[in-house]
Structure 1
Amino acid sequence: MIKIPKNVLIILAFFSIYVIWGSTYLLNKIVVAELPPFMLASIRFIVAGILIFIIAIIMGKSIKVSIKQLINTVIAGFLFLTLGNGLMVWALMFVDSGFTALEISAQPLLVLILMRIHQGKKIKLMSYIGVILGVIGIYLLVSQKEIVSQEGSVTGMIMIFICMLSWAYGSLFVGKANLPSNYFVNTGYQMVVGGLMLFIASILFGETWSSPTMWSNKALWSMLLLILFGSIVAFTSFNYLLKVVSPDKVATSTYVNPIIALILGWYFLNEQISTQSVIAAAILLTGVYFINTKKKLTIFRRFSSSGNK
């Protein structure tokens, strides 16, 4: 078997969470136009999880896990998939795919705040500036009259925020938790348990299930792409990155995701991109960059240097 260098794996994994996940907003929007949200997400993750287990077995990997690892995968599956993805898909019934991606691009702000609260990580000056820019960007994004006036849009925005919070906390949890060492097995368990919890949510909310034979070709192809690429490839890459790089770096996928989502939503779904949304996106993504950059502001570096003379 050809062994891929670690740095190449990291690059490929980042490409997956950057570009592939950027397209999942469009795919989810297409499918949720026909199927109930929790049913959609449940089918996606249960099928993807089973396929991942099959791949792991073919690769000769043991899918046995300890009780502690199983409990941790249940927690991670709930945070990432049941609560995180389930609410996001539900929100897509009320807001555009590009808007959803833009709001979720503020996730690094929540990661930073949670790292400060739970890990005592010191917030640097650049990060403070990033938080301020992020708050301004989010305000400009969600305060647009043409968006707020749409039925259910405010509720959708709130659900997206809860989704962001769940993903941010899940990122920190997975970074420290005792999980299966094999990334396929880890992802498989999270997918299956997350999907089962979504199935329960679908039943509790009284969603009407339908056979795939009744779906349109567009919905079928979108679901297939969500399962194979959005779930198996991208989510496995996500779990891999959380173990080899810091959570705030993984959260930088929000730089590219909204751009991909905006372009695809505009091209395939004729979603409108307002000038205010473009300005909000520029400010918000600049804030995300400030949060994650390790550089110092030149003016403060010069001031510090002159003070040491």
Structure 2
Amino acid sequence: MSSPRNPVLVILAFFSIYVIWGSTYLLNKIAVTELPPFMLASIRFTTAGILIFILCKFLGLNLKITRKQFLNTVIAGFLFLTFGNGVVVWALRYVDSGFAALEISAQPLIVLVLMRILDGKKIKAMSMVGVVLGIIGIYLLVSQKQVISQENSVLGMGMIFLCLISWAYGSLFVGRANLPTNYFVNTGYQMFTAGILLLLASVLFGETWSSPLEWSSPTQYSMLLLILFGSIIAFTSFNYLLKVVSPEKVATSTYVNPIIALILGWHFLEEQITTQSIIAATVLLTGVYFINTKKTFLIFSRFRTNQETNL
């Protein structure tokens, strides 16, 4: 909290973590309708990683890390970005962007449950209420006939849930791992190595690559926005806010992102917002609110910092 607080920068930073992060679901949905998912994610994170390295050099930051730190960044990058993000992009072919954002908003719930299973951490009464509400909200969300009836939607929902587990385990991993102390350097290595792993996955699954010059204008703009705004500006804004405002205020992005994603998906892609989706969102986000106690959020924010948060 020692960093100088500029009211204009604070407002712009909140706009970034609210609107930009919330819009990444729409941008990924637009791009994945034309591009193979692992290729899309690979280009995004490899490019963003390289740009962050260039920024680090410009800022005079030392990019040298130990072998152990490099290995840990590869593991974290895989958990958060290669699997955690790449598979979500793959699932967006079968699931609406707003629906995916709502399911992903259950991140704190999964983190809390996994902490209980792996570390034996007791769940506080307030957080237990959040877990129960979260489970109810997820059930209401995934049990809709309009959703289940879509082709491969159940597969898409199931894969997103596996991504939540990957993110949750990753959040516990980075809490113990020896990682580069500078968050720019740390994120640069995670993004770049995750992008390379996604490249290998793309080759393994036989995806056909194409030149950006061959993409449609919406896809080109979406990729550009994902790299510059979703992967760099919003991430920097998040870390800035953690220094100048309370963690609880930064945590409000957990509640706002799905709403932004739902509205953008409805407006630009004509995705349907059902009454049950609204009820599920209310119940689920209320559960996330109960879970996001100050102590829990400190763990969650460390996870978000290393994950670059949201898509």
> Partner residue of 1:100?
100
> Partner residue of 1:270?
270
> Partner residue of 2:169?
169
> Partner residue of 2:111?
111
> Partner residue of 2:142?
142
Shift of 1:117: 2.9
> How big is each residue's C-alpha offset from its partner over 1:104-133, in whole Å with a ceiling of 9 and x where there is no partner?
111111011122233433211111111111
Shift of 1:171: 1.9
- Tell me which amino acid in the other structure corresponds to 1:120: G
Identify which range, 148-157 or 245-254, moves more after superposition: 245-254
Determine the C-alpha separation between the residues in 2 that align with 1:203 and 1:239. 34
Name the CA shift for 1:163/1:268 in 2 (closer, same or farther; >3 Å).
same
In the alignment, does 2:291 pair up with 1:287?
no
> Partner residue of 2:4?
5
> Partner residue of 1:42?
42
Determine the C-alpha separation between the residues in 1 that align with 2:248 and 2:34. 35
> Partner residue of 1:91?
91
**Secondary structure class of the residue paired with 2:64:** coil
Identify which range, 104-113 or 194-203, moves more after superposition: 104-113
Q: How does 1:1-309 map to 2 (within 5 A)?
A: 4-5=3-4, 16-236=16-236, 253-293=253-293
Name the CA shift for 1:5/1:121 in 2 (closer, same or farther; >3 Å).
farther
- Tell me which amino acid in the other structure corresponds to 1:22: G
Q: Gaps spanning 5+ residues in structure 1: where?
A: 295-309
Name the CA shift for 1:243/1:5 in 2 (closer, same or farther; >3 Å).
closer
Q: Gaps spanning 5+ residues in structure 2: where?
A: 295-311
Report the identity percentage.
Answer: 76
Determine the C-alpha separation between the residues in 2 that align with 1:117 and 1:144. 29
- Tell me which amino acid in the other structure corresponds to 1:282: T
Determine the C-alpha separation between the residues in 1 that align with 2:116 and 2:129. 15
Name the CA shift for 1:204/1:23 in 2 (closer, same or farther; >3 Å).
same
Shift of 1:35: 0.1
Determine the C-alpha separation between the residues in 1 that align with 2:269 and 2:220. 17
> Partner residue of 1:298?
none
| 2:3–2:243 contact (8 Å) kept in structure 1 | no
Kindly report the root-mean-square deviation, in angstroms, between the aligned alpha carbons of the 2 structures.
Answer: 2.8
Shift of 1:30: 0.4
With structure 1 as the length reference, what TM-score do the two structures score? Answer: 0.87
- Tell me which amino acid in the other structure corresponds to 2:4: P
| 1:13–1:237 contact (8 Å) kept in structure 2 | yes
**Secondary structure class of the residue paired with 2:140:** helix
Determine the C-alpha separation between the residues in 2 that align with 1:248 and 1:169. 22
Name the CA shift for 1:15/1:278 in 2 (closer, same or farther; >3 Å).
same
- Tell me which amino acid in the other structure corresponds to 2:53: F
- Tell me which amino acid in the other structure corresponds to 2:156: G
With structure 2 as the length reference, what TM-score do the two structures score? Answer: 0.86
Name the CA shift for 1:193/1:34 in 2 (closer, same or farther; >3 Å).
same
Number of aligned residues: 293
| 1:183–1:240 contact (8 Å) kept in structure 2 | no
> How big is each residue's C-alpha offset from its partner over 1:207-242, in whole Å with a ceiling of 9 and x where there is no partner?
010111110111101100000111122345567889
Determine the C-alpha separation between the residues in 1 that align with 2:46 and 2:118. 32
Determine the C-alpha separation between the residues in 2 that align with 1:165 and 1:139. 17
| 1:249–1:292 contact (8 Å) kept in structure 2 | no
Determine the C-alpha separation between the residues in 2 that align with 1:243 and 1:202. 38
| 1:108–1:252 contact (8 Å) kept in structure 2 | no
- Tell me which amino acid in the other structure corresponds to 1:163: C
